[in-house]
Structure 1
Amino acid sequence: MNWIEAHEAVFRLSLFALILLVMLFAEWRWPKRKLTRTRRERWSGNILLTVFNTLTLRVLAPVSAVGAASFAAASGFGVFNQFSLPEWAAVIVTLVVMDMAIWYQHKLFHQVPWLWRLHLVHHADMDIDVTTGARFHTVEIWLSMAIKGVLVALLGAPVVAVIVFETLLSGMAMFNHSNVGLPKRVDAWLRRFIVTPDMHRVHHSTRSHECNANYGFNLSCWDRWFNTYVPQPRKGHHNMRIGLNEISQPADASNIFGMLRLPLRWRILQRAYQHKKESWAHETGDRHVQKPR
């Protein structure tokens, strides 16, 4: 664990690159869905937005989640620093608590209107693949980092636990957003424990009751326990529509400048809110219907 702390950048970057390459190969070799837009059209915006977000976090964020953990350790602040809990136990509790917190944060970004304005940038992608996992509005990234920093400080989470969690967060986001067709038996077994691509793909459906479900990114238990689990999309994975009904122009969905200004596009937002309200009223009875894949 000391090695991970001493080589944080190498550890995180190496695993990120490894998982990215593995998922890119898997998408090419075993694709689940035929994409409706070219990779060149979508990837340029998604990758540019990811790079922009990373740079702004490095420059503008005063304290990262790892920095908050270092502060808590140095000052003796936080729950874990008040008790003599073994480091391995503190690491496990941190990973579970933060996983649940990110699940709840994700749900809030769907339920609170001004937060949804930011989060819809993620859902505006007209296909879903490994690059979608890092496609978020810059302000949402800042808010998420602030939330994680506060939680880490309150817990007094070990530095190594936060590094592992942040690595899991990015790695699992690439995995469960990937356009990979896992064998049915493998998917059924994995989703007992973690969020699979098929499970999370439901969340990117244009159907409101499917979009407002399956909020998890790592552990799949939260959606089951809190009644937000939809096993399969009603129209099946090959026929379901990905994205938002109100956003169909590449300038809004794939261009970095269009994505950044999307939360301010009032006409689009008004149509999205109205459609969300109307479709939710008609579709809530479908939530737990199991359909062919």
Structure 2
Amino acid sequence: MEKYLDIIKNSYSNYWNYLKNEVLFQNNWDNYFYGLIAISLIVWLLEIAFPWRKNQALFRKDFWLDVFYMFFNFFLLNLIVLIALSNAAATFFNDILGLIGFSISNFQLFDVDNLPRWLGLFVFFMISDFVQWNTHRLLHRFEWLWNFHKVHHSVKEMGFAAHLRYHWMEPVVYKSLLYIPIAIIGGFDAQDVAIVYFFAIAIGHLNHANLGWDYGILKYIFNNPKMHIWHHAKELPKHVRFGVNYGLTLSIWDYIFKTDYVPHNGRDIELGFEGDEHFPKDFISQELYPLKKN
């Protein structure tokens, strides 16, 4: 038990020092703090220059709430919960394997260090995106998970910052299901992960932005604003009542597994979910809502 407490303590200390360095000393290209700001400003400028919904205000409904969510979930949540939880859970999982004479390396399929860098990045990106696509489906399929995911679907007007409006339990679910598939590949360094993260953030921001783009033929590969707005539609036919267009970065999974749904131009459809008029409007109440429901 003492070992796990030390892991949690060191995780907090190490991440706090990392966060201070990210904010105060912008001296590397893979700085997540300023990278997030740069991507957000670029996509916001695109919204201003090429608005799809021209009557939508520049500071749309819940703009500042979503900006707060964006920085809280991307940085402070890691400090408060995720880093310590992830490190302790990973150690516990490896300890359990050790009791039966195994380690995570026994399940490692291959090491990406043995592949060309571009191929290793491609493998990492494809596996992580596919696992997250499946995780996203689970968030819609099971009611107790859906109650957490409602926070994200409470968005009533789409904009880039809506991308990172989600309950703190969501990354716990995502990271838990992603840990083993990524661990059995192994060999990724911090800059490799940063490249994939920045690309995923950019696509995610664009998906939620007030932009009427579908990328032409590339819409069958990459998720896009015209496709993702239907994921947020308040009303869907019964045959897709659990949701559609689950792709985070890639749309290809939806087309392969027949969960794609873009019946017409969705620019002016109502967003949300049934009963969202009773959903809390402030950050604290939204965070507490799933716990009360569950």
Q: Common fold, TM-score beyond 0.5?
A: yes
Superposition CA RMSD, Å? 3.1
Q: Contact 2:61 / 2:157 at 8 angstroms: preserved in 1?
A: no
Unaligned 5+ residue runs, structure 2?
1-26, 95-102
Cα distance, 1:36 vs. partner? Answer: 6.9
The equivalent residue for 2:196 is 165
1:16-40 CA-to-partner distances (Å, cap 9, x unmatched) read: 2332112111212222125678836
Cα distance, 1:139 vs. partner? Answer: 1.3
Measured in 1, the distance between the counterparts of 2:271 and 2:70 equals 20
The equivalent residue for 1:21 is 41
Change (3 A) 1:11 1:51: closer
The equivalent residue for 1:55 is 76
Measured in 2, the distance between the counterparts of 1:153 and 1:8 equals 26
The equivalent residue for 2:288 is 261
Measured in 1, the distance between the counterparts of 2:56 and 2:42 equals 23
Cα distance, 1:204 vs. partner? Answer: 0.4
Unaligned 5+ residue runs, structure 1?
1-6, 270-293
The equivalent residue for 2:176 is 146
The equivalent residue for 2:53 is 33
The equivalent residue for 1:187 is 215
Output aligned runs, 1:26-175, within 5 Å: 26-33=46-53, 39=59, 41-53=61-73, 54-60=75-81, 61-62=83-84, 77=105, 78-81=108-111, 84-159=114-189, 160-175=191-206
Measured in 2, the distance between the counterparts of 1:194 and 1:40 equals 26
Question: Aligned with 1:199: secondary structure?
Answer: helix
Cα distance, 1:103 vs. partner? Answer: 0.8
Change (3 A) 1:40 1:214: closer
1:155-196 CA-to-partner distances (Å, cap 9, x unmatched) read: 2141243222222222211111111123xxx63333032111
Q: Contact 1:27 / 1:179 at 8 angstroms: preserved in 2?
A: yes
Using the size of structure 2 for normalisation, the TM-score is: 0.73
Cα distance, 1:47 vs. partner? Answer: 2.0
Question: Aligned with 1:80: secondary structure?
Answer: coil
Using the size of structure 1 for normalisation, the TM-score is: 0.73
Measured in 2, the distance between the counterparts of 1:22 and 1:147 equals 31
Q: State the number of aligned residues.
A: 247
Return structure 1 stretches of 4+ with deviation > 6 angstroms: 35-38
Change (3 A) 1:231 1:55: same
Q: Using the aligned pairs only, state the percent identity.
A: 23
1:220 paired with 2:251, answer yes
Measured in 2, the distance between the counterparts of 1:49 and 1:12 equals 16
